[in-house]
Amino acid sequence: MATTRPRKRTPKRTPDTSGGIRWLTPDEGRQYFEEQVQKRLGISGDEFLRRLDAGEYQDIPDDPEHWPIIELSMPVDFAR
């Protein structure tokens, strides 16, 4: 008769650590966005949004020099 090893119990995950995702409150999201813009471009989040809304970043090329701008345009919803 064949037997199998007992299975290890998987620890229960909490919403804060589930799959490596950390959920942000709206205030934390705005702070995260502001920190990233400051760190990568050296301007405020408000200034980045102003330039984005004015179309200053509309026709930038997809190259390493401009990747920070492209990447920062993705989490804009954190700031609005």
pLDDT tens digits, residue range 31-54?
999 999 999 999 999 999 999 999
Q: Is the pTM of this model over 0.75?
A: no
Residue 18's alpha-carbon distances to 1, 11, 27, 38, in angstroms, are 39, 11, 21, 29
Contact 65, 20 (CB under 8 A): no
What residue has token string 């990447």? 71
| Nearest C-alpha neighbor of 37 from the set 49, 26, 28 | 49
Between 16 and 67, the higher pLDDT residue: 67
Helix (H), strand (E) at residue 71: helix 67-73
